[in-house]
Chain A
């Protein structure tokens, strides 16, 4: 029998449409404007644990609009957001799909604490208001020093699953997990946060790193790690680095897995029930 029917019901898709409208209204109220950067672009991220889908002759399906939105910000764009598809190779499961919807926004002159506050306001709008607890990375999984990265990643994933029920901001990531966040004044932790709602990892945000030299170092470290793990190296996105040289304004940014947010809003237990057609 052919499997032509959508994985979500029509009623669920209508609820999803309504939530998309609520999210867009939330940003319109705050004069955060919507941008659409290319989904298919020449370069992609260097991060060793994010694999891109390559489109030969064209580049890569974007894993996030981060680099391109930062180029817009460097070119003088004010606070803005993108709500659209992002792609990750090899991610498939109850809470993963190779194509998913990412809501990513950047706020000029915000730090990560102000942005966390705004993330909570958006989540309250979509899921109903509830209290938020804060837990530091070290309190969640223990000291990271000296532990192999894979063990730490699994401990983190399992600890997040246990953060249920409730809404939890995880803060103060170890410096080597800063990704593109700046470091805190202590030099040991990063101005990075994640939001976990009912055990589901929902958002990841930074007070953005501005220093181009530090960016280059982090890209090089990513590629070192890729070589060690026999993963393909990824060329640095020079347009992105040049934009940083020109000057990224002081800002904070966050990416939210919008499908997971819809899933929680609908009380669904997997992405199946919020996606039209499930990727294979």
Chain B
């Protein structure tokens, strides 16, 4: 198994810590003028999303994690697993469990492409694109003439997600562009 030394640590590098794959976020070199050198490393545990801070002696090595991000098309949910297919013409499919799709569930639309994180070929996380377009399935009736200023209302989307800050002129059946990082309305999608 490959290992990385602290002096190779870069943000985005995937390593094993306490049995879980982690993504290195920050690596700070700490050294008193006359003392030993250390690396204070912030990393995100890819299994539970928690951010850990650990201090290593400079030169220490830790195991690399076999983690890759792959673009995949969302196919369907069979009630237990969410199925994705690679977009590289291999038609290779993976089945992601609830934990992997947890943060993405609100934004999953069939035939859209998502980033699936595979650890030892198992999907452990699904990341939506920054913007998705989803249809409104429920919202209060639109108000004629109220196009620019004025209030907002919540709207329920085809995935079941409810977003706030939707302008009053939006109707059921409209397709909205949503920022998945903030969960906020961006605009009405052009149709």
Q: Do A and B bind each other?
A: yes
Binding site for B on A (CB under 8 A): 47, 49-50, 90-96, 149-150, 152-154, 156-158, 160, 177, 179, 194, 201, 204, 257
Q: Which residue of A lies closest to B38 (CB)?
A: A154
Q: Which residue of B lies closest to A179 (CB)?
A: B34
Q: Which of B24-32, B155-163, B166-174 contacts A (4 or more CB under 8 A)?
A: B24-32
- Decide yes or no whether B33 CB sits under 8 A from chain A: yes
CB interface residues, B 24-61, toward A, < 8 Å = 28-38, 55, 57-58
A228 to B190 alpha-carbon distance, docked (Å) = 69
Which residue, B29, B30, B34, B36, has most C-beta atoms of chain A within 10 A? B34
A38 to B30 alpha-carbon distance, docked (Å) = 28
Binding site for A on B (CB under 8 A): 7, 28-38, 55, 57-58
Contact B34 A50 (CB under 8 A): yes
A150-B29 contact in complex given A90-B7, A90-B58, C-beta closer than 8 Å: no
A93-B34 contact in complex given A150-B57, A154-B55, C-beta closer than 8 Å: no
Closest chain B CB from A191 CB (angstroms)? 15
Q: Which residues from A are CB-within-8-Å of B33?
A: 194, 201, 204, 257
Contact A49 B35 (CB under 8 A): yes
Closest chain A CB from B9 CB (angstroms)? 11
Residue among B29, B34, B57 making CB contact with A47, cutoff 8 Å: B34
Residue among B7, B29, B36 making CB contact with A153, cutoff 8 Å: B36
Ordered by A's residue number, 27 sampled pairs between the chains whose C-beta atoms are within 8 Å are A47-B34, A49-B31, A49-B34, A49-B36, A50-B34, A90-B7, A90-B37, A91-B29, A92-B29, A93-B30, A149-B36, A150-B36, A150-B57, A152-B35, A153-B35, A153-B38, A154-B30, A154-B36, A154-B55, A156-B32, A157-B31, A157-B32, A179-B34, A201-B32, A204-B33, A204-B34, A257-B33
Q: Which residues from A are CB-within-8-Å of B57?
A: 150
Residue among A90, A94, A160 making CB contact with B32, cutoff 8 Å: A160
A49 to B34 alpha-carbon distance, docked (Å) = 6
Q: Which residue of B lies closest to A48 (CB)?
A: B36
Contact A157 B7 (CB under 8 A): no
A177 to B34 alpha-carbon distance, docked (Å) = 8
A201 to B34 alpha-carbon distance, docked (Å) = 11
A157 to B36 alpha-carbon distance, docked (Å) = 9
Residue among B31, B35, B36 making CB contact with A96, cutoff 8 Å: B31
